[in-house]
Amino acid sequence: MARRDVIHDAVKEALIKDGWRITADPYRIVYKDATLEADMRADKLIAATRENHSIIIEVKSFLQRSFIHEFLAACGQYQAYYDNVKLATSGSELVLGHFLPKFERQNGH
């Protein structure tokens, strides 16, 4: 299992407070020979439509030294998850839960 992001528990708590039920932590996305692991899956009953809505969440804090490297890695990971979720027809929406730190420009730029 991959190491959890530092904001994993905060994102999970926020989802629960918003009425989401965590159904998997982590959540495995399986399609044919490919197995990927997103951080969690959550379900929520939407009262207006009486339908169950499912989301798959990948949590990223972007706190590493190279924001661009981490951002591009997250984009690639998101695309791989998206393609496999779509192919597996799980009916879930993919969500990237993130925290973007404030950036200080160096050397006045």
DSSP 8-state assignment for residue 89? T
Residues 101 and 63 sit within 8 Å (Cβ to Cβ): yes
- Which residue numbers in the chain have pLDDT < 70? 1-2, 87-109
In a domain, 104, yes or no: no
In a domain, 105, yes or no: no
Q: The domain containing residue 50 runs over which residues?
A: 8-98
What pLDDT is recorded for position 105? 46
* Count of domains forming the chain: 1
pLDDT, one tens digit per residue, over 39-50 is 898 999 877 777
- CATH of residue 16's domain is 3.40.1350.10
In a domain, 108, yes or no: no
Residues 2 and 59 sit within 8 Å (Cβ to Cβ): no
What pLDDT is recorded for position 58? 84
What pLDDT is recorded for position 21? 94
pLDDT, one tens digit per residue, over 53-62 is 888 888 888 7
